[in-house]
Structure 1
Amino acid sequence: MDSRGDEETSGPSGNEADMASVMGFSGFGKKARTFDLDAIFEQTRRTAIERSQKAIEEREMEDVRKQCAEASVSSKTSGPSGRSKAVPSASSRTQESASSSDSEEDSEEEQIGPPLPPQMARGGTAGKQESDGDEELVGPLPPGSRKQEEDSSDEEAADEEDDTPVKRIPDTHEITLQHGNKTVSALGLDPSGARLVTGGYDYDVKFWDFAGMDAALQAFRSLQPCECHQIKSLQYSITGDVLLVVAGNAQAKVLDRDGFQVMECVKGDQYIVDMAKTKGHTAMLNSGCWHPKTKEEFMTCSNDGTVRTWDVNNEKNHKSVFKPRSQQGKKVVPTCCTYSRDGKLVAAGCQDGTIQIWDRNLSVHTKFHCRQAHAPGTDTSCLAFSYDGTQLASRGGDDTLKTWDIRNFRKPLNVATELATVFPMVDCCFSPDDKLLVTGTSVKKGEGTGKLVFFDRVAFQKVYEIEVTSASVVRCLWHPKLNQIMVGTGNGLAKVYYDPVKSQRGAMLCVVKSKRKEKQAETLTQDYIITPHALPMFREARQRSTRKQLEKDRLDPMKSHKPEPPVSGPGRGGRVGMHGGTLSSFIVKNIALDKTDDSNPREAILRHAKEAATNPYWVAPAYSRTQPDPVFAEVESEDEEADKEPEWKKRKI
């Protein structure tokens, strides 16, 4: 009885369970099923191992059967004809089977991997046929043969050619993008390599879409985000959705992929002495870049002597401030800045030739500091970390390119000289394989050719150079995914170098497209406005076909702006149809030009004087009563005039 009562109290009765299932809330009190993922993964791993072992054992058994069958066939054929074979006894059979089983077990224990083919197992003699002349090999080549050595040597030579870094430079083809007439001072390419952006001294920022361009190579958008300020730096974020614009003003801007503004940094108070107390920059910006790991953080440096980090979501204040200082503790202007590859270090090149590196989380004291990295008083134009993060390359205003070891920052590893620099933003960058270092050279106008110079990272010797154009090479960018090199020059050109074999996408997408032809008739089309509730007399006819509508608009003189034809006949509507249809031409033709050819116009006028005096008709009758008689002065001789002069006017002789 007790047990029955317990059962009744522990769970619902049958009627209640049926009612709960009918009402739809029978499963409300049940607990959710839980799964042990570790146990499931372990079971899956064990099943995979067992299946692979079983497949290997089956493959080995098939190989052993094939070998036994071939051995039996060879033993039958090798015996002499007509000779009987001795049948072994039971004891000998057992001994042989035992020895064979022992040998098979030993061979199975010693053998690793799949068994050798039967020909190789028998020493390779079955595939060799000897003849009186040359030997021919039917089976696989022995490892020491001459032909195999030649093939291997050719493959090694080809591999060595491919391994040389110079062979990997994509410079067989190029395209030229016309940005403008002034210097291209900024280049940016998104991480996917689909969109290129250029900025210059003409204040313009142009967007180029490789997938949307044709062979005309026209930018799809041009804007001036910072009004009348030269563009210093452009860079896409690590996600490629926003673009950092650094210009000659004190406020950096962030734009989206279509050029619309996302945020603008706040300007600081220029009357505050301590730059760490103000919220933003107070002087012209010099450079900027995105954080390589955090998509919302970027960094800028300015002439106010600070390097500031920002957050895209907070435009009212900076995140942190780094203040470069000279050896005497005075303020130094940073000209370029960058993050390390892991984003833990912040590096800045300064106007006094120093390179100062901070820990990103410790902004007071520098972690690495080189006082004489470049000549004092020169602007360091670029800093770039290698892909492995162990070396730093610096492009100085003293016409040098240097590499530094982060672990020993006192002396440079290598130095390259005689690299002319004119612009304060000349780039240097590492190749995608981290074996080459690239930079550009500057030239004066009409005095040479700007070059793109490639240095070997280890030996630091100039291994290759590309003559770009008859102007300075300012910016250079080597995209790792596209394997294409973008170059900005001093004469307003942006060039893209690529190789159809070694490169992919990018410029190769637009050079194969033909130029689109512009349709002249498109200017006549008008938008069709739908007015469903308009009266029939005001309702527009529905547009049936674009072609018919264009033909109809062409016949309409108002929509097609058809010029008025010349007037034929006497004229109409206030227009005179004589000689060009203007009033002046009519007057010249009918009134001003007299067809009589008088050689002397005075005589032609005076021939009517006698008739006018005797028979006045036009002027004289109107004034006959009121016109006084004309009185003319008498003409006197010179002697009489001299006598009438007063005494004081006479000349004394």
Structure 2
Amino acid sequence: MQVDNDAFSAGDSMPTSFGKQDASVNVEAQIERCRRKIVDERKQAAVKAPASDDEKDSDDDDSDSDEEEDDEFPVSHELAIKTHERAVTSITLDPSGTRLITGSTDCTLKLHDLSAMTPTTIRAFKTVDPFVTKASQTSETHAIHQVIFSPHSGNQLLVITATAQARLFSRDGEMQKEFKKGDMYLRDKHNTSGHTAEITSAAWHPTNRDRFVTAGHDSTVRIWDVNNSFQQKQVIVHKSRAAGSAGMTRMTAIAWGPSSEGNGTIIVSAAFDGSLVMWGGEGPYHRPLGEIREAHAKDTWTSGIDISADGRLVITRGGDDTIKLWDTRKFKAPINTAAHPSTSSQYPTSNIKFAPNGQSVVTGSESGHLHILNPATLRPELVTPVTPGSPLIVVNWHPKLNQIFTGSANGQTTILFNPTMSSNGALMILSKAPKKRHLDDDPNFTTFMDPAGMAGDAITPGGLPGVTAGSYSARHPTIGLTASGKSRDPRRPHKPEQTPFAMSTPSERHVRENIAFSSMRDEDPREALLKYATKPGEEKVFTGAWDKTQPTTMFKDYDSDEEEREVKRAKH
């Protein structure tokens, strides 16, 4: 049997996809609807400007190169997710790129499953309040500063809120540990078991999955072990040398990355006094490897910091409207400096990141534009609008998906991608058929669409897997309820109201996991002492000397009980 090699290489005899196909789905049309109208504003401005004859000739020659530049970055298409009510302050994805979690100033976490979304169900499948758990429910609400998936596995999620305690969650939004808070009345910060003021930033160890570092307002950097939530493993106190600071300053951002030698790690942190400090990731910590006192202007918030994959470069975005590039091998002066308007005064978590290949730097701007810079010159290679008029706060370039995720002040999360360069993620969503609604379905319990046409949250009679009752009522407090607040479904059990006493009373699980030696509270004191009693035939270790030194008791003997009672009456 002869095979036509030309036809085989062209793909005429090979299927484009496998499994059951839906002929009604036009994937190319769905992807084309996500194409962005404006990719690079610099080219739009160049087209509007009048050009001379020589420039026209050069434009014709460079037309092919411009088309190639458009495909250099995955920004040709976009997909928007509108779930938060306020500004998105943090975005993280697991290493596989299937689980997306966003944090916001509305004090909630939104969990998105990119593999389960469809074009009409682009929404979060779960909403989590870090302060409302099964163990304890409180009325506290704090903004989310940072949410970070462990780079080693997608099972650990580090959540930093506007408090002095870091929290560890599972990928499904269940809180696993709450790390201890230190004693704010102790002057020496080395003696406290945790942060005594608000934590501002955190970072995972590049190779050790059990280590992470936090920086806070108490002028300390603390290294933690995920297996010990009662005390940090190491405390680094940053002594500020700025006048009038009394040796204390707020730490604003921190990063943990590989060293340039390739045999260790480095920790780089920025402070409110304008300094930039670098320590060895494995110690010793009593003296930094390098310190730059005036890296940025004093009393400005350096919100973004990142270390390149080879550990040679450090990029910072300061509150003094500058972006600076540093060399860790000559940690004294910046290599390059570029002007860039800062949004850290209003949004302290505005970040800056190296691209996965290290050949670009990506960050947002106050005007809602995405800036992709050249790391050597810090000049913009691409400037494209994402949410015009609304500041772009956080960016995240996933290496496996090759897609850029952005969070804006209007609560929108945007996925930028390119069909030829990217894989999975947004492309997986657009490759599915829109979810159809049955005629008998109650719209209160199926897909809910907001007036803007963006998919909102969905409610199902049984609830989605992993959705707690607290998140259900928080997202849709009135759907499926009568005017008096009772459920329309007679099969749904009545949920008793929680009294203030129950809200302030810790549960058994909370006490067992967060209070050391709490198991001894339920132990009988007599049984606890009898555990150390000697058995017949064993030598007494602790009380053996009493057998020889203990005096013999002598009591008077009576012939009868009546005689004994008469003697007692006589004494009285």
Whether these two folds match at TM > 0.5 is yes
Give the 3 Å change call, closer, same or farther, for CA 397–522 of structure 1 in structure 2.
same
1:283: Cα distance to partner? 1.1
* Residue 256 of structure 2: aligned partner: 339
Give the 3 Å change call, closer, same or farther, for CA 165–275 of structure 1 in structure 2.
farther
* Residue 414 of structure 2: aligned partner: 495
Q: Does 1:260 align with 2:174?
A: yes
Give the 3 Å change call, closer, same or farther, for CA 463–517 of structure 1 in structure 2.
same
| Matched residue type, 1:397 | G
Q: Does 1:237 align with 2:153?
A: no
> Could you tell me which of 77, 80, 86 is aligned with 1:182?
86
* Residue 450 of structure 1: aligned partner: 368
* Residue 460 of structure 1: aligned partner: 378
Cα distance in 1, alignment partners of residues 69 and 274 from structure 2: 31
5 Å matches for 1:61-210?
A: 167-210=71-114
Q: Does 1:439 align with 2:363?
A: yes
| Matched residue type, 1:307 | V
Deviates more, 1:423-432 or 1:323-332: 323-332
Cα distance in 1, alignment partners of residues 292 and 91 from structure 2: 29
Q: Does 1:222 align with 2:95?
A: no
| Matched residue type, 1:377 | D
* Residue 356 of structure 1: aligned partner: 277
Gaps of 5+ in 2: 1-60, 132-139, 446-459, 463-487, 491-572
1:518: Cα distance to partner? 4.3
Give the 3 Å change call, closer, same or farther, for CA 249–198 of structure 1 in structure 2.
same
Q: Is the 8 A contact 2:206 2:265 kept in 1?
A: no
Cα distance in 2, alignment partners of residues 274 and 170 from structure 1: 49
Q: Does 1:480 align with 2:399?
A: yes
| Matched residue type, 1:349 | A
| Matched residue type, 2:383 | E
Cα distance in 2, alignment partners of residues 178 and 435 from structure 1: 31
* Residue 392 of structure 1: aligned partner: 314
* Residue 323 of structure 2: aligned partner: 401
Q: Is the 8 A contact 2:272 2:300 kept in 1?
A: yes
Q: Is the 8 A contact 1:205 1:222 kept in 2?
A: yes
Q: Is the 8 A contact 2:249 2:272 kept in 1?
A: yes
Q: Is the 8 A contact 2:253 2:270 kept in 1?
A: yes
CA RMSD, Structure 1 to Structure 2 (Å): 2.6
* Residue 526 of structure 2: aligned partner: none
Deviates more, 1:256-265 or 1:338-347: 338-347
1:169: Cα distance to partner? 0.6
1:290-327 superposed Cα distances (whole Å, 9 cap, x missing partner): 11101111111111111111111111110111111222
1:356: Cα distance to partner? 0.6
Cα distance in 2, alignment partners of residues 332 and 204 from structure 1: 29
Gaps of 5+ in 1: 1-156, 443-448, 528-558, 562-653
Secondary structure at 2:258 match in 1: coil
Cα distance in 2, alignment partners of residues 517 and 169 from structure 1: 34
* Residue 227 of structure 2: aligned partner: 313
Cα distance in 2, alignment partners of residues 511 and 374 from structure 1: 44
5 Å matches for 1:625-636?
A: none
Q: Is the 8 A contact 2:83 2:123 kept in 1?
A: no
1:203: Cα distance to partner? 0.5
1:513: Cα distance to partner? 2.2
Q: Is the 8 A contact 1:166 1:464 kept in 2?
A: no
Q: Does 1:471 align with 2:390?
A: yes
Q: Is the 8 A contact 1:326 1:332 kept in 2?
A: yes
Cα distance in 2, alignment partners of residues 164 and 176 from structure 1: 25
Greater share of helix: 1
1:526: Cα distance to partner? 10
Cα distance in 2, alignment partners of residues 288 and 497 from structure 1: 26
> Could you tell me which of 164, 177, 199 is aligned with 1:250?
164
Give the 3 Å change call, closer, same or farther, for CA 166–353 of structure 1 in structure 2.
farther
Secondary structure at 1:276 match in 2: helix
Give the 3 Å change call, closer, same or farther, for CA 560–477 of structure 1 in structure 2.
closer
1:334: Cα distance to partner? 0.4
Secondary structure at 1:235 match in 2: strand
Secondary structure at 2:429 match in 1: coil
1:165: Cα distance to partner? 7.3
1:166: Cα distance to partner? 6.6
Cα distance in 1, alignment partners of residues 461 and 363 from structure 2: 52
* Residue 92 of structure 1: aligned partner: none
1:520: Cα distance to partner? 7.0
Cα distance in 2, alignment partners of residues 292 and 496 from structure 1: 26
Secondary structure at 2:190 match in 1: coil
Give the 3 Å change call, closer, same or farther, for CA 526–406 of structure 1 in structure 2.
closer
* Residue 209 of structure 2: aligned partner: 295
Give the 3 Å change call, closer, same or farther, for CA 526–439 of structure 1 in structure 2.
closer
Secondary structure at 2:240 match in 1: coil
Secondary structure at 1:407 match in 2: helix
1:167: Cα distance to partner? 3.9
Tell which structure's C-alpha radius of gyration is larger: 1
1:514: Cα distance to partner? 3.0
Q: Is the 8 A contact 1:244 1:255 kept in 2?
A: yes
Cα distance in 1, alignment partners of residues 117 and 382 from structure 2: 31
Cα distance in 2, alignment partners of residues 165 and 427 from structure 1: 25
Cα distance in 2, alignment partners of residues 164 and 264 from structure 1: 49
* Residue 293 of structure 2: aligned partner: 371
Give the 3 Å change call, closer, same or farther, for CA 479–161 of structure 1 in structure 2.
farther
| Matched residue type, 2:76 | T
Cα distance in 2, alignment partners of residues 389 and 424 from structure 1: 25
Cα distance in 2, alignment partners of residues 201 and 248 from structure 1: 10
| Matched residue type, 1:352 | D
% identical equivalent positions: 33
1:533-582 superposed Cα distances (whole Å, 9 cap, x missing partner): xxxxxxxxxxxxxxxxxxxxxxxxxx999xxxxxxxxxxxxxxxxxxxxx
Q: Is the 8 A contact 1:437 1:455 kept in 2?
A: yes
5 Å matches for 1:8-19?
A: none
* Residue 77 of structure 1: aligned partner: none
TM-score normalised over the length of structure 1? 0.54
Structure with more contact order per residue of length (Cα contacts < 8 Å, sep ≥ 6): 2
